[in-house]
Amino acid sequence: MQSHQTMRRAEIVQSMRAGSFGGFVVLGSRYRDGIGELHWYIALLPEQASDTRIYHVMAGEMPEELTGDERHAVIEAIRSWESQPASRPN
């Protein structure tokens, strides 16, 4: 007998959020994947530089390469956004 999980379509839980946190501009969208887990896609732009980094934050687990001030800015942004009512695209 084969066991499998019923996959649902991914759903946007919070559409694009933006803010300035600890010297970075942070953009993020939150979604629920096909098995119900919540994830964030984050773009991180240093206010004094032109490089942009994209991160996938899976179920609250920060990527290993996200360290120091960048990590703190992303955590601060996610905490702020999760405390606000969800916003969904039209």
User: Over the stretch 52-70, which tens digit does the pLDDT of each residue have?
Assistant: 999 999 877 889 999 899 9
Predicted model pTM: 0.79
When divided into structural domains, the chain yields a total of 1
Please tell me the predicted confidence (pLDDT) of residue 10.
Answer: 81
Strands across the sheet containing 24-32? 11-21, 24-32, 38-46, 53-58
Asked, for residue 51, whether it belongs to a domain, the answer is yes
Tens digits of residue pLDDT in 64-89? 999 899 999 999 999 998 888 766 55
Domain assignment present for residue 57? The answer is yes
Residue 6 within a domain = no
Q: To the nearest whole percent, how much of the chain has pLDDT over 70?
A: 87
Position 88 in a domain: no
Boundaries of domain holding 46: 11-82
| Across 7-16, 43-52, 81-90, least confident range | 81-90
Nearest C-alpha neighbor of 67 from the set 55, 49, 59: 55
Rounded to 5°, the CA angle 86-38-24 comes to 70
